[in-house]
């Protein structure tokens, strides 16, 4: 079974490497939509364990393009 730690949307937490943040709901916001008037990248994440069972939005790291990984900071 797939684990959250193997997902492309998993980012390791700096304090405790056994936990991380699921960034599946990350999105780009245009300058018109943001309050500051600049384009921003927002992450609405939740804390998950590295060994938790993967959800239905699981995506293998190798399936994500290099540009997408760099944009998300993975």
The pLDDT tens digits for 32-70 are 877 788 888 777 888 999 999 998 989 888 888 888 877
Query: Does residue 27 fall inside a structural domain?
Result: yes
> What is the total count of domains within the chain?
1
Is residue 19 situated within a structural domain? yes
Both tokens of residue 2? Answer: 């797939």
Residue 71 lies in a domain: no
CA dist 55 → 4, 14, 21, 35, 58 (Å): 8, 23, 13, 32, 6
Q: What is the pLDDT of residue 9?
A: 86
CB 24 within 8 A of CB 69: no
24 lies in a domain? yes
pLDDT at 69: 76
The two tokens of residue 16 are 């405790």
For residue 22, give its domain range.
4-59
Asked if residue 25 belongs to a domain, the reply is yes
Within a domain: 70: no
Give the CB-side neighbour count of residue 12, counting CA atoms within 13 A. Answer: 8
Q: Can you name the residues that pair with 41 across neighbouring β-strands? A: 28
Q: Per the domain annotation, does 64 fall within a domain?
A: no
Report the pLDDT value the prediction gives residue 39, as an integer from 0 to 100: 81
Report pLDDT for 61. 81
């Amino acid at each position: 079974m797939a684990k959250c730690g193997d997902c492309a949307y998993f980012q390791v937490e700096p304090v405790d490497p056994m936990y991380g943040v699921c960034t599946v709901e990350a999105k780009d916001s245009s300058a018109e939509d943001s309050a500051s008037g600049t384009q921003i990248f927002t992450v609405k994440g939740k804390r998950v364990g590295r060994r938790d069972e993967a959800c239905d939005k699981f995506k293998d790291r190798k399936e994500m393009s290099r540009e997408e990984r760099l944009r998300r900071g993975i």
